[in-house]
């Protein structure tokens, strides 16, 4: 019973953030992009072009065009994802109709920046809560398995055609601003998905691994893991240190390592999500 309550609470929490994300997305589309003929990529972009040419309701078009992809994703992504996605699309459609009569500005630079930020925040929040507004992403997961394209390559190909169509309908200056908007959207989505304080995964190879590890534990108050390796050239046993730290701790770590062994090899990789494993010394 307790587990079920937690699951319900988690789902309601997701719906809350999906609602917020869809409203923000609707606000960005209706007040910044749509009135100035600047489009997003994917299904939303296609819907904006068709809405302009055929004078159809944008929110309704997004739902209709996304519906086949939502149904297609049922088996692959699961019922929870499909329900969340359908709900996100409905809230987006209602938000577009609500904000339809508002126009924030006609300055294309401001439209590009603030419209891109709004959509990035909204779409990123929705994606982070197990839902989507773009059917091309769902389609790309299936197409990539059968035709050898990566998901990113397929989405890029689709968007090239969408922005080319936007150039023919709205003019090439509008299409170029749309591409810039899409770039801003993608960067803001990355920011929302990964967070500001992305961690760093660090591997250190040194003949003084034990001394370095002790100092890292003592001076940075972090946990480290010792791994065994073999040198490719020498064939000798090597000790490796592995740990995950915040980017604020990285410069201090490098100083400690170089202080003990200036010849140590240090490899740093971005880690966007970490669960558990942070043990304090006693």
- The predicted-structure confidence for 55-103, as pLDDT tens digits, reads as follows 899 999 999 999 988 888 787 777 888 889 999 999 999 999 999 888 8
**Residue corresponding to tokens 């922005």:** 163
Residue 73: which of 51, 89, 96 has the closest Cα?
A: 89
Tell me which of 103-117, 199-213, 226-240, 255-269 is least confident: 226-240
The answer to whether residues 48 and 25 touch, using CB atoms and an 8 Å cutoff, is no
d(CA 18, CA 16): 5
CA distance readout (Å), 94 to 35, 87, 88, 113: 17, 11, 10, 24
> What mean pLDDT is predicted for residues 137-162?
72
Specify the pLDDT at position 62. Answer: 93
- The predicted-structure confidence for 47-56, as pLDDT tens digits, reads as follows 999 998 998 9
The answer to whether residues 22 and 126 touch, using CB atoms and an 8 Å cutoff, is yes
For residue 281, pLDDT over 50 is answered with no
Q: What is the chain's mean pLDDT, rounded? A: 85
Tell me which of 121-130, 196-205, 267-276 is least confident: 267-276
For residue 190, pLDDT over 70 is answered with yes
d(CA 92, CA 81): 16
Maximum CA extent, the chain: 72
Question: Between residues 113 and 280, which one has the greater pLDDT?
Answer: 113
Dihedral sign of CA atoms 222, 200, 269, 264 in order = negative
The answer to whether residues 119 and 45 touch, using CB atoms and an 8 Å cutoff, is no
- Residue 269: its H or E element: strand 265-271
Specify the pLDDT at position 65. Answer: 92
Long-range contacts of 137-141 (CB under 8 A, 24+ apart): 137/42, 138/69, 138/70, 138/72, 138/73, 138/76, 138/77, 139/69, 139/72, 141/73, 141/76
For residue 228, pLDDT over 90 is answered with no
Q: What DSSP assignment string belongs to 170-215?
A: H-HHHHHHHHHHHHHHHHHHHHHHH-SS-EEEEEEE-TTHHHHHHH
The answer to whether residues 142 and 44 touch, using CB atoms and an 8 Å cutoff, is no
Tell me which of 16-25, 146-155, 262-271 is least confident: 146-155
Tell me which of 5-14, 42-51, 267-276 is least confident: 267-276
- Residue 28: its H or E element: helix 2-28
pTM of the model as a whole: 0.74
Tell me which of 3.40.250.10, 3.30.360.10, 3.30.70.120, 3.40.50.300 is the CATH number of domain 199-271: 3.30.70.120
- Residue 228: its H or E element: strand 225-230
In the DSSP assignment, the letter for residue 35 is G
For residue 280, pLDDT over 50 is answered with no
Please report, for the chain, the start and end positions of each structural domain, with discontinuous segments joined by +.
2-194, 199-271
């Amino acid at each position: 019973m307790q587990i079920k309550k937690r699951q319900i609470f988690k789902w309601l929490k997701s719906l809350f953030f999906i609602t917020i994300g869809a409203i923000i997305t609707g606000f960005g589309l209706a007040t910044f992009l749509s009135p100035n003929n600047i489009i997003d990529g994917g299904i939303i972009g296609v819907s904006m072009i068709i809405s302009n040419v055929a004078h159809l309701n944008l929110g309704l078009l997004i739902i209709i065009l996304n519906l086949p992809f939502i149904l297609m994703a049922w088996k692959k992504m699961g019922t929870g994802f499909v329900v969340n996605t359908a709900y996100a699309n409905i809230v987006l459609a209602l938000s577009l109709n609500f904000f339809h009569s508002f126009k924030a500005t006609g300055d294309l630079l401001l439209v590009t920046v603030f419209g891109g930020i709004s959509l990035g925040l909204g779409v990123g929040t929705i994606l982070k809560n197990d839902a989507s507004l773009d059917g091309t992403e769902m389609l790309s997961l299936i197409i990539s398995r059968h035709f050898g394209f990566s998901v990113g390559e397929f989405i890029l190909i689709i968007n090239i055609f969408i922005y080319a169509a936007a150039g023919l309908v709205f003019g090439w200056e509008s299409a170029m601003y749309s591409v810039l908007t899409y770039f801003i959207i993608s960067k803001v989505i990355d920011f929302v998905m990964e967070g500001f304080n992305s961690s760093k995964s660090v591997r250190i190879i040194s003949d003084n691994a034990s001394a370095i590890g002790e100092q890292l534990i003592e001076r940075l108050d972090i946990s480290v893991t010792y791994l065994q390796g073999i040198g490719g050239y020498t064939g000798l046993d090597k000790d490796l240190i592995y740990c995950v730290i915040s980017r604020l701790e990285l410069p201090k770590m490098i100083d400690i390592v170089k202080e003990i062994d200036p010849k140590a090899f240090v490899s740093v990789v971005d880690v966007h999500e970490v669960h558990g494993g942070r043990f304090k010394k006693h």
